[in-house]
Structure 1
């Protein structure tokens, strides 16, 4: 690949157990049917092609990936692909404890849990589910099952949870969890009201340093996304910041996105995609490989500075 793409975000389903306003997972007019989903064999064949073209990290997303039947088998078969260095997953954590109780994941090296509030009432109002304790139980279960790299994604929304910044830092320190603060970047209609809801990473850092002392920068993780990491002078786990609004990181983006039915997007914000799933099911493997390479090489033309479309995050895997 001419454009360096080492990271594939692979959506396993467009369904979710939550109904957060910024994602709209339960407000879609139509959902994919089971027969439209790429099956585990198709996912594995595609992943092998991606790895052959330079992908080294596959993140399983949704919707909510734990809703996908056969999730353990999907993780195991992807993790066994030679040359794939990292298989990770982003989950809302609601079904995590039950999923791990069924059996542990084989080959899953990193887990990101989306958790935007530590207050039960706020959690219920955001998600539509009284499920905070189940998510916390899932996080505990993940650590007990040997998942040492667990990261908490906190999407900050002004006026909703921006008063919980210090609480999340303490939560991470007490449980040895990486906390990642994300600037809210609206993905639905670009209304001014939505634009005003983000909390700048620089302001979050000031709040943290006022309470906990100075932060030392540690840069980004190889093979991963745009998060910039810092560490408190007192030690403990790192803190991450994803500055979707105040720092456009398009020029350094290394990600491709594949939907659950096999549509490959070079950027979250573009309407342009390559339908590699249909080609795969037609047995046109060489054409699939060529189309993946072409999409990656054209990636520089598609970014959120030049593209804007109406879409729901749950349809493309975050």
Structure 2
């Protein structure tokens, strides 16, 4: 594949990670992402013709790979709801020097894990916000049991998608009592448990600062039961801060998106289900690549559009967060992935 000069934004940040939402549909209604009070059960999702095709997604991905992107994360909605998505994984995995990963709620993972691994998926991240069934069902608001998600995690590990990363969004008063039980459960498993501060994404989740459990508190609670120490990041700009158990039981991570903003090292760009490119999780508007694709634009035109979008990027929402910002109109996380 031909390579082009790396893209650098207005603050000197390169583009390295492309997150692709392949469907806006989800079978959960998680309170921090797609609350039922706003989306309901019969929300009018995008018609099939408006979604990017697998070929269109692959074409855009190739243009980003030529500019230095080395990791793709498939998201949603719930990406495993997209019919035949293992075909997309195979198409993307064929692009040289590219790691294809997936974030899922785990509901369909048990029967899909082996297919995805065979297609070329490198890693998987599973969302699991509680071990207690009643708490988990309050969080996902879809009456879905913990056991099914745990079965999906084990199926992924058995298929070779190791280590499985397990993400928990912590919301005070709802599931913060699950921090230690989750830590206890995933010790000695080889899976990497990560706790994410509840964020003010979108405009529908009713975010309040006092519902955020700071990562420092999460680490303190775990450390009181299982002594831990910090370890170095895997690579520059890694979002999660890594910690390991002193007894060798594995590692955990915290993502401090509210209390310890990491905008200065953010290398992510996001592609929505119908081809809008977003330069920040908290963006209010995107840039339409689908219209370029479907109007016959060649690769040079696509490259020029991507270059212009990234070079003008000045996003640093989390560093500027203040009392007024949570009320600003922002794109929903369920629309562009986490």
Partner of 2:137: 124
Residue pair 2:193, 2:253 contacting (<8 A) in 1 also: yes
Partner of 2:49: 35
CA distance in 2, matches of 1:172, 1:264: 36
Partner of 1:155: 169
How far did 1:188 drift? Answer: 3.9
How far did 1:225 drift? Answer: 4.8
Residue pair 2:196, 2:254 contacting (<8 A) in 1 also: yes
Partner of 1:257: 270
How far did 1:147 drift? Answer: 1.1
How far did 1:175 drift? Answer: 2.1
How far did 1:192 drift? Answer: 8.1
Partner of 1:109: 122
How far did 1:103 drift? Answer: 6.6
Q: Is structure 2 residue 15 aligned with structure 1 residue 2? A: no
Per-residue CA deviations over 1:265-290 (Å, capped at 9, x if unaligned) read: 01111223211121012121322211
Partner of 1:232: 245
Q: What secondary structure is seen at the aligned counterpart in 2 of 1:163?
A: helix
How far did 1:73 drift? Answer: 0.7
Partner of 1:310: 330
> Cα–Cα, structure 1 residues 203 and 74, in superposed 2: closer, same or farther, change >3 Å?
same
Partner of 2:279: 266
Q: What secondary structure is seen at the aligned counterpart in 1 of 2:269?
A: strand
CA distance in 2, matches of 1:282, 1:223: 38
CA distance in 2, matches of 1:229, 1:147: 20
> Cα–Cα, structure 1 residues 83 and 176, in superposed 2: closer, same or farther, change >3 Å?
closer
How far did 1:136 drift? Answer: 1.0
CA distance in 2, matches of 1:107, 1:302: 33
> Cα–Cα, structure 1 residues 10 and 223, in superposed 2: closer, same or farther, change >3 Å?
farther
Residue pair 2:21, 2:336 contacting (<8 A) in 1 also: yes
Aligned-residue CA RMSD (Å):
2.1
How far did 1:242 drift? Answer: 0.3
- Structure 1's unaligned 5+ residue stretches are none
Residue pair 1:266, 1:302 contacting (<8 A) in 2 also: no
Q: 1:293 aligns with which of 292, 299, 307?
A: 307
Could you state the TM-score of these two structures normalised by the residue count of structure 1? 0.93
Q: Is structure 2 residue 23 aligned with structure 1 residue 23? A: no
Q: What secondary structure is seen at the aligned counterpart in 1 of 2:57?
A: helix
Q: What secondary structure is seen at the aligned counterpart in 2 of 1:125?
A: helix
Partner of 2:86: 72
CA distance in 1, matches of 2:60, 2:26: 24
CA distance in 1, matches of 2:194, 2:115: 28
CA distance in 1, matches of 2:94, 2:115: 21
Could you state the TM-score of these two structures normalised by the residue count of structure 2? 0.87
Q: What secondary structure is seen at the aligned counterpart in 2 of 1:299?
A: coil
Q: Is structure 2 residue 214 aligned with structure 1 residue 194? A: no
Q: Is structure 2 residue 223 aligned with structure 1 residue 203? A: no
Q: Is structure 2 residue 140 aligned with structure 1 residue 140? A: no
CA distance in 2, matches of 1:187, 1:139: 26
How far did 1:137 drift? Answer: 0.9
CA distance in 2, matches of 1:224, 1:259: 23
State the aligned residue count: 316
> Cα–Cα, structure 1 residues 181 and 204, in superposed 2: closer, same or farther, change >3 Å?
same
Per-residue CA deviations over 1:206-247 (Å, capped at 9, x if unaligned) read: 11111111x222233338751111111111322111001101
Q: What secondary structure is seen at the aligned counterpart in 2 of 1:87?
A: strand
Partner of 2:100: 87
Q: 1:280 aligns with which of 293, 309, 312?
A: 293
> Cα–Cα, structure 1 residues 224 and 15, in superposed 2: closer, same or farther, change >3 Å?
farther
- Structure 2's unaligned 5+ residue stretches are 1-6
